[in-house]
Amino acid sequence: MSENIQANYEPKVIAFACEYCAYTAADLAGSMRLQYPTNVRIIQLPCTGRADPILLLRALEEGADTVFVAGCQPGDCHFINGNYRAKAMVPSVKKMLEEIGLNPLRVEFFHVAASQAPRWVEVVKEMTSRIQALGPSP
Ligand code: FES
């Protein structure tokens, strides 16, 4: 019976997306009518450099099953190093999750360029299937 519950489980996925790249890619995916899981909620950031551990942890605390940050490709950040900063921050959040008994796979960082609508779809599908395998956040 629990397997059926797991199969029907729709995880709550929160994406913190840079408006210059990943957010635009998500928009483009919509325009291209690409199909991807509808359980992702996108929070637009001016740059992923604005993401911080408290933001990610707060999203998990408020009920998200997984949180990911999606920023510009290396070298393309409009604020020089916001994407590198965000990417470097995610392992520290993973460590914090481990310390409180949550699986660190619930948090991730991805580079997604504005033109990479299929990549955006791939990322959302990956995070959704990853969390479907892990189950709801305790
Ligand atoms: Fe996109 Fe900084 S402007 S990650």
Distance 119 CA to ligand 1 centre (A): 17
Whether the CB of 71 sits within 6 Å of ligand 1:
yes
pLDDT of residue 10: 85
Please state the atom number of ligand 1 nearest to the C-alpha of residue 71: 4
**Which pLDDT does position 9 carry in this prediction?**
78
What is the rounded distance in angstroms from the CA atom of residue 71 to the CA atom of residue 109? 8
Query: Does 93 contact ligand 1 (Cβ within 6 A)?
Result: no
Alpha-carbon distance of 105 to 7, in angstroms, equals: 19
Q: Is 123 exposed, middle or buried (0-12, 13-18, 19+ CB in 10 A)?
A: buried
Residue 47 token pair: 């740059």
Q: What is the pLDDT of residues 20-78, one digit of tens each?
A: 999 999 999 999 999 998 999 999 999 999 999 999 999 999 999 999 999 999 999 99
pLDDT at 1: 35
Residue 97 has pLDDT above 70, yes or no: yes
